[in-house]
Amino acid sequence: MSQAATPHSNDRARQREPQSIGSLDDLAKLSADELASLYAGAGMPKGLHELDGDLVGRMLAVRGTGHGLLLKGLSAFARGKGFPWAGKSFASKDAKTGTGINRVVLGGRHRLFPFRTHLGPSVVDGGPAVVLDYGDPDNPGFIRAIHDEVREIAPGLFFGPACWKGAGGKTTVILWFALDARGVARGVRAS
């Protein structure tokens, strides 16, 4: 089942203004519905160069983990600073295209699952987004089935959905993640 961003999914999301979001911690406090609502009003960077470098990442809300002690624990672990995904590294080729790779800290530091970036329509709401394409043939099939995209919610602070591309082109939001480019050393090679 696809999750579409609906304007103001609930009253709490309606009351939260983008100006009150200034950090990864602020985003990590939000539910999947609040993030979807916030995403609908988020903007675009001036160009892909705004994402260049090793951005600090944070998993946010995982869909379907709001009920039950085990599922709540999984969601809390994914949002926590100890989660092994460290973020993504980006290198723009020009204002509209680039490359990137995920950084994972698990038994050492690893750069895994390269992607290409481009500006394109969001699978969530059709608006503009920075799309991360994992279609590289060197990626495992389950990674090529992932669709990530981001928008900018505050200068240097990006977030968006990680989606699963299913049969028949159906895309489902699985979780939300964020990336912080503030304080990032520029000129870092993504791959």
* Per-residue model confidence as pLDDT tens digits over 79-133: 556 667 799 999 999 999 999 999 998 888 899 999 999 999 999 999 999 999 9
Assess if residue 3 is contained within a domain. Answer: no
The encoded tokens of residue 81 equal 């600073």
pTM, 2 dp: 0.81
Tell me whether residue 185 is in a domain: no
Determine which helix (DSSP H) or strand (DSSP E) holds 159, and give its type and residue range: strand 157-165
In a domain, 133, yes or no: yes
Residue 1 lies in a domain: no
- Report yes or no on 57 lying in a domain: yes
How many distinct structural domains can be found in the chain?
1
- Listed in sequence order, the DSSP H helices in the chain are 11-15, 24-28, 32-40, 69-79, 141-144
Supply the mean pLDDT for the chain.
83
49 found inside a domain = yes
Structural domain boundaries, residue 79: 11-180
Q: What is the pLDDT of residue 85?
A: 79
CATH number at residue 89: 2.40.128
Q: Per the structure block, which two tokens stand in for 173?
A: 């939001």
Residue 175 lies in a domain: yes
The three-state secondary structure class of 32 is: helix
pLDDT recorded at residue 175: 92
Is the pLDDT at 16 greater than 80, yes or no? no
143 within domain boundaries? yes
**How far, in Å, CA of 142 to CA of 146, rounded?**
7
pLDDT class of 146 with cuts at 50, 70, 90: very high
